[in-house]
Amino acid sequence: MPAETTHAKRRVHVVGAGPVGLMLTALLQATGTFSIRLYEKRHEYTRTRMVKLDSYLVADSVESYCIDHIDGENIEAVFDRTELGEGLVFRRSIPPDLKTHLRSWTLGFCPVNAIERSLSDLIDVRASNSVERIAAAVTAEKAMAMLKPEDILIDCTGSNSLLRDHVVPPVGEVVGGGANTFKIRLEYALVVTFLYSQTYICDEYCKYYKNAENNRYKFIPAVHRTYYDQSVSHVTGIVKISAEEFEAMPPRFDGQWLRDNFPGAAQSMDRFIQKIKHETGGEILGELEIIRIPLDLYRARNATSRKWCEVGLTEHPFAGSSVFLAGDSAIGSPYFQSISLGFECAMFLAGLLRQSDQPPRETFNRYENYIHKQWLRVYMRSKMIKHNKDLFESLDNTFALLEKLHIY
């Protein structure tokens, strides 16, 4: 008899079918040893923003994994070679249907919803071990009520995580309230996205010279968010704004709204775009799309329910089951390639859960340790990028620049 018909499969609840929840589901589904329920509140995948996945996701050696010139050294400083080696072994075991997608997403840019749809379709067309899809907005109470002892629950609900503040026992009478979240607000920003009809190549010199007359607001395109589809470039730039300006803006608007309401910020953006046009002779295709967001760097202090298990005898559902946070639920950074990070954590977690003979405490500790190391990596990189950005914004003011330098 095949193993799966002689043993009851362990139940896994994946809450949130964004990129990370879908990736975890696809990985666990392929093992054939879990009975998976995937919960999602959205009816369709509509996020069209362009993202690029990092090449380290498909790296086949430690050297190629550490290739990024900013991140590579941090990785080597934080992780042991054996840990990196384990990651490579797991990546080699990823089923071919999934590996083909991963390879293609690391080659160029694609919309988030294309990644979501491809993963979702892949889960649905696989003939064996079907996944039960549940269209519902899960609440923390529902999540607790649906758990049976020994079940696994993985929270993939994104930055406003459903369970981040529930995976640890309350301190005194206080439940939730951000106690399990460590957050640094780096700044507030406008994220401006547009299509441009010519190839436009951006680097640090370009960012500097095209901002020469922008004193108050600098328009800073993210180099790796400029991509080319034949001669069309997708450009994403950010403009730092104040907390008051953030409060006074709607979440989403177009270029004309910005010109009418915040002419100073709009001028810097328009001046930058004008210079691109002057150099390359192209045009903006369609509308500028602008959102305003807080740029937060955060982590869950505990990414598992291990603290509930340590409490011992209690009737709380999390004490007898295993709860994990993955993707933006666990760690988030505005400057980091968060989907790639979430995918990596999903791969690690799927690898751990595959080891069915491992005691839960061991699984918790290994996942916590891994997430903590990923956090160190993200923290170092994000702080460095923020610091460089602050320096860049003061380049024409020697004293302001010196005040931001702490040398020795």
Alpha-carbon span 94 to 84, nearest angstrom:
16
Q: H or E stretch including 340?
A: helix 338-354
Q: Identify residues 277-306 at the interface with ligand FAD (CB under 6 A).
A: 293
In the complex, least distance from residue 224 CB atom to ligand FAD, rounded to whole angstroms: 8
Q: Which helix (H) or strand (E) holds 184?
A: strand 181-196
Q: Is 158 a residue that touches ligand FAD (CB under 6 A)? A: yes
Write the DSSP assignment of 235-289 as a string of letters: EEEEEEE-HHHHHHS-SEEEHHHHHHH-HHHHHHHHHHHHHHHHHH---EEEEEE
339 touching ligand FAD, by CB under 6 A? yes
Q: Which of residues 129-148 bind ligand FAD (CB under 6 A)?
A: 137-138
Backbone angles phi, psi at 349, to 5 degrees: -65, -45
Give Cβ neighbours of residue 86 (< 8 Å, ≥ 6 apart): 351
- Tokens found for residue 229: 């589809």
Name which position in 13, 18, 268, 331 contacts ligand FAD (CB under 6 A).
18
CA nearest neighbour of 265 among 276, 277, 253:
253
Site string for ligand FAD, 75-114 (x = CB under 6 A): -------------------------------------x--
Among 118, 233, 321, 337, the residue binding ligand FAD under the rule CB under 6 A is 337
Options 196-204, 207-215, 313-321, 338-346: segment touching ligand FAD (CB under 6 A): 338-346
Taking CB under 6 A as the criterion, which residues in 35-74 touch ligand FAD?
39-42, 49, 51-52
H or E segment to which residue 153 belongs: strand 152-155
Rounded Cα distance, 101 and 103, in Å: 5
Cα 59 to the center of its chain, rounded Å: 19
325 neighbors 339 (Cβ within 8 angstroms): no
- Residue selected from 87, 221, 237, 327 as contacting ligand FAD according to rule CB under 6 A: 327
* The only residue of 26, 57, 162, 266 in contact with ligand FAD, by rule CB under 6 A: 162
* Residue nearest ligand FAD, CB atom distance: 18
- Rounded to a whole number of angstroms, the minimum distance from the CB of residue 206 to ligand FAD is 19
Select the residue interacting with ligand FAD from 12, 14, 17, 152 (CB under 6 A): 17
Of 25 and 74, CB closest to ligand FAD: 25
- Interface residues with ligand FAD (CB under 6 A) are 15-21, 39-42, 49, 51-52, 112, 137-138, 156-158, 162, 191, 225, 293, 327-328, 337-340, 342
